[in-house]
Structure 1
Amino acid sequence: MSDPVRRYRYGPFSGGPDPLAPPPDLRAALEEIGRDVMEGRSPDAALRELLRRGLPEQHGLDEITQRLWRKRSELQRRHRLDGTLEQVKELLQQALTKERQALARDLDDDARFQEFQLDELPGSPAGAVRELAEYQWRSSEARESFQEIRRLLGQEALEQRFRGMSEALKATTPEDVERVREMLEDLSALLGQRAQGAPDIEQKFAEFMARHGEFFPENPRTVDELVDLLAARAAAAQRLLNSLSQQQRQELAQLSQQAFGDPRLAQSLQQLDNQLRQLRPGQDWTGRGRFRGENPLGMAEGAAALQDLAELDQLAEQLAQSYPGARLEDIDLEALARQLGRESTVDMRRLADLERQLRDRGLLERAPDGDLRLTPKAMRQLGDTALRDVLDQIRTRRGDRASQAAGAAGELSGATRQWRFGDTEPWDVGRTVRNAVLRTAAAQRDRAVRLDVADVEIAETEHRSRAAVALCVDTSWSMVQDGRWLPMKRTALALHHLISTRFRADALQVITFGREAATTGIAELTALEGAWEQGTNLHHALLLAGRHLRRHPDAQPVVLVVTDGEPTAHLEPDGEAVFDYPPRPETLARTLAELDALARLGSNLTVFRLGEDPRLTRFVDLMARRSNGRVVAPDLDGLGAAVVTDYLRNRRPR
């Protein structure tokens, strides 16, 4: 007996986040945040900017907000709000035409009198409908058209405030209208008790829903949810009236008295609106919508459109995340799906997942003071990215491969890596054979193991020499003003990562100098904001560099200076920083004296000159000649490669 044929059904996945969606690109996200932080933003602001912009393969809040505004503009551009009046006019004209045709066929005096009545009807639709309330129609078609006006007015008035009312009132028989009146009376009583703070209000609400739940397909769970629903729609209905001309408002007010041919319905709805206004005064009861299209909307459609506009505005405010304590969790995903579809909620969930994983993976954390900050793990990843970029530049400029060696011939470090063309380090035989076995075990029918170049791993070695490195970076305002701030930080980050991962025995000290100099950690430098401060105190920076070198007398001394201006400040013996421009002779003399002290320590000095200032050029050339150092003038894109290359050259003993 054969197995029964299996049947499969395929459809869109609707069980939550897409299981096939790619994971968030945390590395790209961290690079974006790191770049903004290095440009001077706080990590909080950088994260908000990332969520606002998004990533190349992921839409951000700005893109979703633009969709909202496009939909809002389309609503206003396509529609106008006088559709109910237009429908009433059309139905009234149909009724009068059919009635006149019927009267023309009758020759009795009553027919002539009725013709006179029709000729004397008021010019306004509301006045004509009111005058025809007691009219004895001869045409059944005319009578039906007139009854349709009353049904239309009733249904529009109810649909404005109770979404889905047309489903509950499929036939709008007198019995249906009476059920609506009873519901409105009970609802008014319930809201009155809610306003008075009745202690058993939830029980009364449950009784109300048990009796009239068919009118509320949203199935509110509490009386406050019910009030919120009704107040939002009543406020939208009021904004619709506010959007019409004075004459149109008067017409609709008079026509509403003819809803279902029972003026009590309009009175009950007015009472309901008053109660809702008192319970929810924070709703927008005074606004108006500006519609300029050609497609007329009825009262119910117009109120729904105005409610959509209000929801779109509320979503735009949530997406802006500009209020204190804003979080992505504040965004109403159900409202977003209603307005823009499921695709937008998928984008929002991916953004929320990205933000959450940045924290869960230990890349961002809250400091004790509540501020967001980059973790050491994040700093290592940023340093790794910066170093990769630098090595790519070195390979491109020189035609070399990116060196992954931890050192030249020397002691084994215990680490291995895949062999690349040009490597001279010894093979790690055990790992090489293991790689070959794993690669060929499933494919070989015989038991022979064949080596391939891809199997080879080499053993890394460590340098036996060590260096004490002082990286002095200019943080004066000109570095910010001329776009050198970010390249300087990325250079320091790349050098720090290289030393901390490849040359761990080396001692790196980062020194910043503006009006004064200071030693700083790489995290503090990354987050350092540019400040308006005059002064380039190279004297103080070289003084701190000398202290660092003297703490490591057994290491090769290396001093790297990145600057875009000649020295314009120095330290007095009492520790006060003195600034003057053009620089004082004393400033230049003190700077050169400290340079001579570094030369006596045997330091290798390299100055990286940024810009083409002639005075700076002359001074750094003097520094190089005096200390037997070098001057390098890289462009901003090549600054990192120049500094790393020079460090690798200078750390070797002379």
Structure 2
Amino acid sequence: MSRYRKYDGGDPLAPPVDIAEALDAIGQDVMAGYSPERAMREFLRRGGDDQAGLDDLARRVAERRRDLLQRHNLDGTMNEVRELLEKAVLEERKQLARDALMDDGDRAFREMRLESLPDSPAAAVTELNDYDWQSREAREAFEQIKDLLGRELLDQRFAGMKQALENATDEDRQAINEMLSDLNELLEKHARGEDTPEDFQEFMAKHGQHFPEDPQDIDELLDTLAQRSAAAQRMLNSMTPEQRAELMQLSAQAFGSPALMEQLDRLDQNLMALRPGEDWGGSEQFGDGDQGLGLGDGTGVLQDLADLDALADQLSQSYGGARLDDVDLDKLARQLGNEAAVDARKLQELEKALRESGAMERGFDGELRLTPKAMRQLGKALLRDVAEKMSGRQGQRDLRQAGAAGDLSGATRPWEFGDTEPWDLPRTMLNGVLRRAGDAGGPLLSIDDVEVAETEARTQAAVALCVDTSFSMAMDGRWVPMKQTALALHTLIGSRFRGDSLELIGFGRHAQTMRIEELTALDARWAKGTNLHHALLLANRHFRKHPNAQPVLLIVTDGEPTSHLESSGEVYFSYPPHPMTVALAVRELDNARRIGAHTTFFRLGEDPGLARFIESMARRVDGSVVAPEAGDLGAAVVGSYLGSRRGGRPGDGGGPGSYGDWFGSRGFWVG
């Protein structure tokens, strides 16, 4: 049997949630030093280009709360009582003036009594409780005060009672008294642990029309009543002492007797005992708005404020184990509309998709981290940005060269077993057509028809990317571009030049080899020191491990070497740089040249002293110097690597005829 639920908004034909934008933003924040968990939380807070975030929803909740407090005041019921009282007194005076048969002394006494009424509406109502009204209209207006107070007091505890009991008869009021008595007996029995499910069912069968929420058991009934009753208490706490005293005095006049107030007091006590966790002692600071709140409406506003407070807490996600599934979509729709609930549901779906996409996983330490799959996706996005910057063809379609083992030579040859070169489709199809024409039939293609595109031989490379991780890189905003550069180069080599071997080396006070996951998750290091000597030692060790590969040395730095590794393994630091520190770095650079390394320095910053030092180091080893802006570092490093792979000058990564231009003319694809 099919089951249906209420449509909850949104586009039923909308595509599944797209996490690409979220993963890109999360990756950027992770490289800036955020944990993946925090980075995901930050994206959900900010939202995306076409997606409202938690901060926007929280702002709207705060604005709604502020509007409720500023737009209303708590004098609604008192104002209604005052108007009815003024009407009753005015009608009575008119009747006294018209009544010629009345004894002059009696008339004078009545007029004096009306003239001497207290200013307080509550005291005036009490004073007139035993007054013998001569005017029918005046008597009806005064009785409306008692009726209004009864309906308002009931509306505080049972939403909708004010309207339901308008023009109620004595029988209706008796039914309400009976319901309150039965309800209190049920709650007291429940408090003693003596009630049964049948007791609840019997009560609902008799009085269920007064509970539109349709509770399914006594606990649901208790929750509904306690929330409303606690809101009524908070409204009372929000009043001034004068307002509270007036209301208490008037309450005794509800329905013309104190019986109703006694039953409601008994109900409040039962609910406080059974649900002590509700906010019974809170209050709100209402403004002087022009919309006065009656007791029932005011209690509803207090409930709305409680809902808004709960939503603000849920949207903050600041408590342990917080999940977006905690956000109550029904409350959000009730307070901000269906559109807000749709936005929140999309965020819930996005969080779930991120956790289930395989992009993040928990390590043995319990910390959330990006998976290799997520790192590949982020690397591809960065590599596309690099390709656009190098080719100057932003927005144009990427071209594919899948399967090429090297650069195409333009020639073709018959396919042989083991070939990995791409098929030459025009030649292959032509061979099939010619064979079929000669044989007068046969299959469309046979293996003998296939020709492959010849490619030039490609030399393997051993690449050492040495990136400065000293405190100045983080201080001057170069930390994230450095990580993006490393990830882009790692992705390029892993996807297009799998025969090459890449070593990532970070050097600050000392140097160390790193996996790409370690480097991208590396927090900023504030220890002073730029140990180029140690980095070059590790780079040369990498080159010696691959004696048949072309060495490519890429050095990204924003400072002169200020530390070196001593024979004891200890790090020596000195600023300004010690001559021994410079000499040891130069010695290892010479060793890299003797190995045959193509060397490129990427100088960040405009320090003239650094520029002179780097230029002299590059000239010594016939290397190159590139001085990119931080945002162009990735394109510069990738271009230099590609230039070295083609046998061009080290660092040839941009300008007409360079390898950077090859990106635009030959196309680029990351598969």
Normalising by structure 1, report the TM-score. 0.89
Partner of 1:93: 86
> Which residue of 182, 191, 196 corresponds with 1:195?
191
- Provide, for residues 568-606 of structure 1, a one-character-per-residue CA deviation record: whole Å limited to 9, x for no partner: 111111222221211211111111111111111100110
Q: Is 1:633 equivalent to 2:627 in the alignment? A: yes
Q: Is 1:523 equivalent to 2:517 in the alignment? A: yes
> Which residue of 368, 371, 383 corresponds with 2:367?
371
Are the structure 2 counterparts of residues 305 and 23 from structure 1 closer, same or farther at C-alpha, using a change threshold of 3 Å?
A: same
Work out the CA distance in 2 between the residues paired with 1:429 and 1:323. Answer: 66
Work out the CA distance in 2 between the residues paired with 1:131 and 1:459. Answer: 108
- Provide, for residues 37-76 of structure 1, a one-character-per-residue CA deviation record: whole Å limited to 9, x for no partner: 1111000000000100000101111111111111112112
Q: Is 1:359 equivalent to 2:352 in the alignment? A: no
What does 1:342-353 align with in structure 2 at a 5 Å threshold?
342-353=338-349
Q: Is 1:252 equivalent to 2:247 in the alignment? A: yes
- Provide, for residues 312-338 of structure 1, a one-character-per-residue CA deviation record: whole Å limited to 9, x for no partner: 111011001011110001111111111
What does 1:14-413 align with in structure 2 at a 5 Å threshold?
14=7, 18-107=11-100, 108-109=102-103, 110-166=106-162, 168-198=164-194, 200-292=195-287, 293-396=289-392, 404-405=400-401, 406=404, 407-409=406-408
Moved more, 396-405 or 636-645: 396-405
2:495 partner letter = T
Are the structure 2 counterparts of residues 646 and 459 from structure 1 closer, same or farther at C-alpha, using a change threshold of 3 Å?
A: same
Alignment check: 8 A CA contact 2:152 2:162 kept: no
Partner of 2:597: 603
Moved more, 96-105 or 270-279: 270-279
Alignment check: 8 A CA contact 2:8 2:338 kept: no
Alignment check: 8 A CA contact 1:428 1:458 kept: no
Q: Is 1:558 equivalent to 2:552 in the alignment? A: yes
Q: Is 1:464 equivalent to 2:468 in the alignment? A: no
Alignment check: 8 A CA contact 1:60 1:351 kept: yes
1:642 partner letter = A
Work out the CA distance in 2 between the residues paired with 1:330 and 1:354. Answer: 14
Work out the CA distance in 1 between the residues paired with 2:457 and 2:515. Answer: 25
Work out the CA distance in 1 between the residues paired with 2:167 and 2:507. Answer: 84
1:271 partner letter = R
SS at match of 1:607: strand
Work out the CA distance in 2 between the residues paired with 1:528 and 1:516. Answer: 15
Moved more, 69-78 or 57-66: 69-78
1:556 partner letter = Q
Alignment check: 8 A CA contact 1:169 1:176 kept: yes
1:213 partner letter = G
What does 1:444-593 align with in structure 2 at a 5 Å threshold?
464-593=458-587
Give the deviation of 1:409 after TM superposition. Answer: 2.7
Alignment check: 8 A CA contact 1:103 1:112 kept: no
SS at match of 1:472: strand
Work out the CA distance in 2 between the residues paired with 1:611 and 1:152. Answer: 78
- Provide, for residues 502-555 of structure 1, a one-character-per-residue CA deviation record: whole Å limited to 9, x for no partner: 111111111111111111111121111112111111111111111111111111
Work out the CA distance in 1 between the residues paired with 2:455 and 2:290. Answer: 78
- Where structure 2 has 5 or more consecutive residues not aligned to the other structure, the ranges are 1-5, 433-450, 649-671
Give the deviation of 1:432 after TM superposition. Answer: 11
Alignment check: 8 A CA contact 2:601 2:614 kept: yes
1:506 partner letter = D
Give the deviation of 1:399 after TM superposition. Answer: 13
Alignment check: 8 A CA contact 1:426 1:458 kept: yes
- Provide, for residues 263-282 of structure 1, a one-character-per-residue CA deviation record: whole Å limited to 9, x for no partner: 11111111222222222233
Work out the CA distance in 1 between the residues paired with 2:494 and 2:534. Answer: 26
1:115 partner letter = E
Alignment check: 8 A CA contact 2:9 2:338 kept: no
Are the structure 2 counterparts of residues 593 and 404 from structure 1 closer, same or farther at C-alpha, using a change threshold of 3 Å?
A: farther
Are the structure 2 counterparts of residues 72 and 264 from structure 1 closer, same or farther at C-alpha, using a change threshold of 3 Å?
A: same
- Provide, for residues 344-382 of structure 1, a one-character-per-residue CA deviation record: whole Å limited to 9, x for no partner: 111011111111122332222233333221111111110
Moved more, 110-119 or 33-42: 110-119
Give the deviation of 1:460 after TM superposition. Answer: 9.3
Which runs of at least 4 in structure 1 moved beyond 6 Å after TM superposition?
A: 397-403, 410-413, 431-434, 457-460
1:228 partner letter = D
Query: What count of residue pairs does the alignment treat as equivalent?
Result: 612
Work out the CA distance in 1 between the residues paired with 2:74 and 2:452. Answer: 77
Moved more, 506-515 or 131-140: 131-140
1:81 partner letter = L
Are the structure 2 counterparts of residues 404 and 562 from structure 1 closer, same or farther at C-alpha, using a change threshold of 3 Å?
A: farther
Alignment check: 8 A CA contact 2:601 2:626 kept: yes
1:75 partner letter = L
Partner of 2:436: none
Give the deviation of 1:403 after TM superposition. Answer: 6.9
2:192 partner letter = Q
Are the structure 2 counterparts of residues 252 and 577 from structure 1 closer, same or farther at C-alpha, using a change threshold of 3 Å?
A: same
SS at match of 1:133: coil
SS at match of 2:381: helix
- Where structure 1 has 5 or more consecutive residues not aligned to the other structure, the ranges are 1-12, 417-424, 435-456
Alignment check: 8 A CA contact 1:383 1:497 kept: yes
Work out the CA distance in 2 between the residues paired with 1:144 and 1:171. Answer: 12
RMSD: 2.6
- Provide, for residues 232-273 of structure 1, a one-character-per-residue CA deviation record: whole Å limited to 9, x for no partner: 212211221222211111000011111111211111111222
Alignment check: 8 A CA contact 1:395 1:401 kept: no
Moved more, 403-412 or 159-168: 403-412
Give the deviation of 1:458 after TM superposition. Answer: 10
Are the structure 2 counterparts of residues 597 and 402 from structure 1 closer, same or farther at C-alpha, using a change threshold of 3 Å?
A: farther
Alignment check: 8 A CA contact 1:31 1:382 kept: yes
Work out the CA distance in 2 between the residues paired with 1:428 and 1:551. Answer: 43
2:407 partner letter = A
Work out the CA distance in 1 between the residues paired with 2:141 and 2:37. Answer: 64
Are the structure 2 counterparts of residues 343 and 224 from structure 1 closer, same or farther at C-alpha, using a change threshold of 3 Å?
A: same
Are the structure 2 counterparts of residues 522 and 67 from structure 1 closer, same or farther at C-alpha, using a change threshold of 3 Å?
A: same
1:195 partner letter = A
